[in-house]
Structure 1
Amino acid sequence: MQNYKTEIAPGGHWSLELRRGTQMTLRDLSGGSNVGMLFYNPRNLLERYNAPDTLKCQHTFKLSQGHCLYSDMGRIFASITADSFGWHDTVCGNSHASHVVDKWGARDYQTDRNDWHQNGNDAFLVELAKYGLAAADMAANINWFSKVVTDAEGNMSLAASPSQCGDSVTLRFEMDTLVVLHSCPHPYSKATSYPQHLVGIELAIAPPVADDDECLNHCPENRRGFANNALYYLGA
């Protein structure tokens, strides 16, 4: 049952503590969206999302259904239980003010109000400050709805086929998790004008994890991650 629904405007940012056993569905409401995201343990903000461990323990370069999202303590923040797009980036990082100015020109809120050009780095910093965090606390982020490809020389770029209007990805939270996100452009965006993409967020209670759960059984490392979570919550 859906419990909460909201929309994030283009260049917007948002954060919330999601409880273990809840789920978040992100929905691309216009096609071609990018959602930057970071995770932190709200009980110990030094524990945060770890992109290298997430990729190497599941032997993948992309994120998609069946994958788990790891902390730097070997625990699982969330599992990807549904995904209509099938390819999400977590290696290319975040857009900065210099990227946005070079591609689309300088605009600030004081002058342009809601038509200004926000960047992912500053959007994250605004949200992180609410929890006493700063630039030094920013880890490598996820970029939902962004597929990255490489050429023969190893140069990376965004794929020519972006996500479609209505594409969605659902995360089931296996730990209490502080979620920080923005809807700013991917750093490799080649859009001719500042991207104006609307993103939907739906929060609900997740179905319980069954013995045949796809994420649990994706690889032996994921079973160990779930075991680490069980130990962490022992007696809770």
Structure 2
Amino acid sequence: MTVIATSTALDTVVEPGDGALLTVPAGGRLQIVDLHGNQAVDTLLYDAHDIDNRYSAFDTIREQSAVFLTTDSRLLSTRLDELAVITDDTCGRHDTVGGACSQESNVIRYGEHTRHQHACRQTFLSYGAPAGIGQRQLTHNINFFMNVPVTSGGDLQFDDGLSAPGRYVEITATRDILVLISNCPQVNNPCNGWNPTPIQLLGWW
């Protein structure tokens, strides 16, 4: 379901494998609720007036010396502009290094038999199109509620999530932003507890 939110409130459910494109004005609050627990919510942020000024995982990590995101994390753009801040978080930490699943990465990681499976990259491209977001504008995303520990050797592990039913994360927009969401359909690793489930989006602006 495509949702372009410009009203004073938002309350919608996004099914696994589906997505949303939201316009959140400066000062607006967006809450993402993990309805059943262990769901991964792939998210990208863009300056609403310049989509080339987009979320940068690298700059966000470097500037805050933290590989995980949680309350008070500043979500920075490629130009070091603050797009939003995580102002409330009942989960504890969120990933921004594991990236989004794609049909190509599924084949590499899990085998040729997964090529037909829907993936977050397809959702991003489908829902981002109305805003002019194409392959060139996709970048490393946030994976809300996803647990990706980094080992001492620098490797990534896709582990069971740390979330639980009803836990949520809330971001407050520093400037007018576009929020592009893919409710991850991944069934090949534990990021969704092997069972993708719906999420709820709540907004106040």
Band of TM-score, shorter chain = 0.7 to 0.9
Equivalence for 1:164: 164
Which residues in structure 2 correspond to 1:107-122 (within 5 Å)?
Answer: 117-122=117-122
Aligned length: 196
Match of 2:11 among 5, 22, 43: 5
Question: What do the CA deviations read for 1:22-50 (whole angstroms, capped 9, x no partner)?
Answer: 10000000111001111111211211111
SS at match of 1:165: coil
Equivalence for 2:65: 59
Rounded to whole Å, the distance in 2 between the matches of 1:12 and 1:204 is 22
- Checking the alignment, whether the CA contact within 8 Å between 2:146 and 2:191 is kept in structure 1 is no
Specify whether residues 200 and 174 from structure 1 end up closer, same or farther in structure 2 by C-alpha distance, changes over 3 A only. same
How much has 1:194 moved relative to structure 2? 5.8
- Checking the alignment, whether the CA contact within 8 Å between 2:48 and 2:176 is kept in structure 1 is yes
Amino acid at match of 1:125: L
SS at match of 1:95: coil
Rounded to whole Å, the distance in 2 between the matches of 1:6 and 1:203 is 9
Equivalence for 1:42: 48
Equivalence for 2:3: none
Equivalence for 2:135: 135
Rounded to whole Å, the distance in 1 between the matches of 2:120 and 2:161 is 22
Equivalence for 2:147: 147
Taking only aligned residues, the RMSD between alpha carbons, in angstroms, comes to 2.5
Equivalence for 1:174: 174
Identity %: 26
Which residues in structure 2 correspond to 1:78-227 (within 5 Å)?
Answer: 78-100=84-106, 102=110, 105-106=113-114, 117-185=117-185, 189-190=189-190, 195-205=195-205
Amino acid at match of 2:60: T
Rounded to whole Å, the distance in 2 between the matches of 1:75 and 1:152 is 31
Specify whether residues 27 and 20 from structure 1 end up closer, same or farther in structure 2 by C-alpha distance, changes over 3 A only. same
Q: TM-score, length-normalised on structure 2?
A: 0.86
Question: What do the CA deviations read for 1:188-220 (whole angstroms, capped 9, x no partner)?
Answer: 824799632111100013xxxxxxxxxxxxxxx
Q: Where does structure 2 lack aligned partners over 5 or more consecutive residues?
A: 1-7
Specify whether residues 129 and 185 from structure 1 end up closer, same or farther in structure 2 by C-alpha distance, changes over 3 A only. same
Rounded to whole Å, the distance in 1 between the matches of 2:147 and 2:47 is 27
SS at match of 2:131: coil
Q: TM-score, length-normalised on structure 1?
A: 0.75
Give the greater-gyration-radius structure (CA).
Answer: 1
Amino acid at match of 1:180: L
